[in-house]
Amino acid sequence: MGRFLDSDFRRKLQSPDKLIDRSGIKEGMHVLEVGCGSGAFTTFVARTVGIKGEVYALDIQPGMLMQLKEKLSRPENRDIRNIKLIKGDAHNLPFDDNSFDLVYAITVIQEIPDKNKVLKEIKRVLKPGGILAVTEFLPDPDYPLKSTTIRLGEEAGLILDKVEGNLWHYTVRFKTKKK
Ligand SMILES: C[S@@+](CC[C@H](N)C(=O)[O-])C[C@H]1O[C@@H](n2cnc3c(N)ncnc32)[C@H](O)[C@@H]1O
């Protein structure tokens, strides 16, 4: 799985443009990626939010963040200055309440022992009316059905907004309550 996760082959199957569109990521947004891994999609998101936006890329494994750091040092990525790497555990996000317009997680939630706690943490750091986009992909050994992802989000108090994609590759979008 390791090599596949950050490969052009994967990005052919799971197009970054489609993922960004389905997630609702837009220019100027302040975004948190939970469980960024080596950043298979992080540079694409950074270019979409642009210089007025920001991407906080958080992972629990320092080795993953080192790989993303190395990727960002490559000549083709030197223009990207809006990614902040954060070593942290999604169970206790190191951010204030109401910090982000959007949080996204790609093939991460099922790896997490206390999913309800993490989803509540994500809800806490989202602004009112903010978006959580959860993307799942079938080759992932932990792949959950859409109904499981929807149930987990709703149990954490998030409001279902939109479900896009097919059986093997989908994004579920939730919103937090507007003020
Ligand atoms: C299957 S990988 C997916 C990586 C990336 N999202 C992708 O799609 O290529 C899952 C990632 O979640 C991270 N992760 C697992 N539990 C975590 C936690 N409690 N807090 C933060 N990151 C976590 C892992 O370290 C790993 O990098």
Judge if the beta carbon of residue 19 lies within 6 A of ligand 1: no
Could you tell me the distance, in angstroms and rounded to a whole number, from the CA of residue 14 to the centre of ligand 1? 17
Report the relative pairing of strands 169-175 and 126-137 from DSSP bridges: antiparallel
Output phi, psi for 28, to 5 deg.
85, -5
Identify the structural domains of the chain with CATH numbers, from first to last.
Answer: 2-175 (3.40.50.150)
Judge if the beta carbon of residue 14 lies within 6 A of ligand 1: no
Judge if the beta carbon of residue 45 lies within 6 A of ligand 1: no
Residue 154, amino acid = E
Element holding 137 (H helix, E strand): strand 126-137
Instruction: Give the atom of ligand 1 at the shortest distance from the alpha carbon of 142.
Output: 1
List Cα–Cα distances, 128 to 76, 125, 140, in angstroms: 36, 9, 31
pLDDT digit string (tens) for 9-34?
999 999 999 999 999 999 999 999 99
Q: Are 37 and 4 in contact (CB under 8 A)?
A: no
Judge if the beta carbon of residue 114 lies within 6 A of ligand 1: no
**pLDDT for 139:** 83
Mean pLDDT on 135-157: 95
Q: What is the mean pLDDT of the chain?
A: 96
